[in-house]
Every structure is written in structure tokens, then in C-alpha cells.
Structure 1
Amino acid sequence: MASQSQGIQQLLQAEKRAAEKVAEARKRKNRRLKQAKEEAQAEIEQYRLQREKEFKAKEAAALGSHGSCTTEVEKETQEKMSVIQQNFQRNREVVLSQLLSLVCDIKPEIHVNYRINGSPGAGGELDQG
């Protein structure tokens, strides 16, 4: 019976050691998973930064060409405005004098549709009908 009791004790100790080894293996596994997750996160972050940098470069290139178009349009607009301003200054006096002469030089005339005495061109009494 003592040997049986000793055998049971050895089995219990072996089971305890096995449970400790399993627990230790689980801890190692969890540590390794955590480490792998951290490495993956770092790799993902590095990849994201690289892709973001490439995107910024392409965006800058696209906006750079767009920006030069905008600059060109603004330059053309300024040139056209300058020409319009020059034409305005050159023709201003002539247009004002023509406008004033049309407004101030009144030449009273009978309108072509005005009827005298019911029929156009007939003499006599004035009729506004």
C-alpha cells in the first residue's frame, strides 16, 4: 500500500509539473502572440506612412500642375484686364463727347407716325390720333 501511495504521489507530482509546463507554454504563446501583434502593428504603420508619403508626392505633383494652370489663367486675366483698361482710357473722351452731343443737341422733328388731319402728309388741322 505504501508503494501505491508513493505511486499516486508521483502521479500527482507529474500531473502538477505537466500543468505548470502547460501554463508556462500558454504564457510563452501569449507573449509571442502579443509580440507578433506589436510587430505587425509597427509594420502596418510603416507601410501606411510610406503609402501616405507616396500619396502626398503624387498629390503635390497633381496640384503643382493644377497650380501652374491657375497661375496661367490669372496671368491671362490680368493681361486682358490691362488691354480693356487701356481701351477704356483711349476711348473714354470720344464716347463721352458723343453721348453728350446726342443728349444735349436736341433737334425737334415731327415723328413719322404723327398724322395731320387724319392722313399722313395732308395739310390742315393737327390730329394726334
Structure 2
Amino acid sequence: MTSQSQGIQQLLQAEKRAKDKLEEAKKRKGKRLRQAKEEATAEIDHYRLQREKEFRNKETNVRNSKPDCFQEYYMETPANHSYHKNMESMMKKLLSTICDISPEIHPNFRPSDGRHR
């Protein structure tokens, strides 16, 4: 019977060692999973920052180029050409109308002869 009890003891010890090894393996697996998750999160954050930077650069380029495009379009329109062509002559006419004053006596004006009525 002692040999049978020794066999059972050995079996129980082997079972305990196997259980301990399983626990260690689970802990290592959990640690590797956490580490992989942290690395993936860091990689995702890095990628996101890189893409946001690229987006901001493209957005800045588009914003900076739009005024030029609109200005080119505005300068190429026929109405704009006639505006610039006629602007100087119209300004001269407007200024002459405003600034060239010829004083005249109003037709309803009655000069006072110093007497009051």
C-alpha cells in the first residue's frame, strides 16, 4: 500500500505542478495581451496624429490657394475688365461734378434792402 500511496502522492504533486504551470502561462498570456494592447494603442495614436497633421497641411494648402483662384477668376471676368477700363473716367466725372462748384443766386432769393417788414 505504501507504493500505492507514494504513487498517489506523486500524481497529486504532478497535478499541482501542472496547475502552477497553467497559472503561470495564463499570467504570461495576460501580460503579453496587455503589452500588445498598449503597443497597438500607441501605434494607433501615432498614426492618428500623423494623419491629422497631413490633413491640417492639406487644409492649409487649400485655404491658401482659394483666394488666388478666386482672384484669378475675378480678374478674368469681362465685367471686371470694363470696370477697370472705365473706372478712371468715371472717377474724373464724379470728382468734377462734386468739386467744380459754380455759385449762383437762387431764383427765389430776395435781397434785403435793410428795411424790415
Q: Deviations over 1:85-121 (max 9, x none)?
A: 7654332145x76xx97xx446xxxxxxxxxxxxxxx
- In structure 2, the CA distance between the partners of 1:91 and 1:35, relative to structure 1 (3 Å rule), is same
User: What corresponds to 1:32 in structure 2?
Assistant: 32
User: What corresponds to 2:64 in structure 1?
Assistant: 64
Count residues in correspondence. Answer: 96
Gaps of 5+ in 2: 75-79, 109-117
- In structure 2, the CA distance between the partners of 1:56 and 1:9, relative to structure 1 (3 Å rule), is same
Structure number with larger C-alpha Rg: 1
Q: How does 1:43-54 map to 2 (within 5 A)?
A: 43-54=43-54
- In structure 2, the CA distance between the partners of 1:31 and 1:85, relative to structure 1 (3 Å rule), is farther
**Alignment partners' CA distance in 2, 1:15 and 1:59:** 65
For the aligned residues, what is the CA RMSD?
Answer: 3.1
- In structure 2, the CA distance between the partners of 1:4 and 1:37, relative to structure 1 (3 Å rule), is same
Shift of 1:20: 0.5
**Alignment partners' CA distance in 2, 1:37 and 1:54:** 26
**Alignment partners' CA distance in 2, 1:49 and 1:2:** 70
Ranked by relative contact order (alpha carbons within 8 Å, sequence separation 6 or more), the top structure is 1
User: What corresponds to 2:41 in structure 1?
Assistant: 41
- In structure 2, the CA distance between the partners of 1:87 and 1:33, relative to structure 1 (3 Å rule), is farther
Q: When the two structures are superposed, what TM-score results if normalisation uses the length of structure 2? A: 0.64
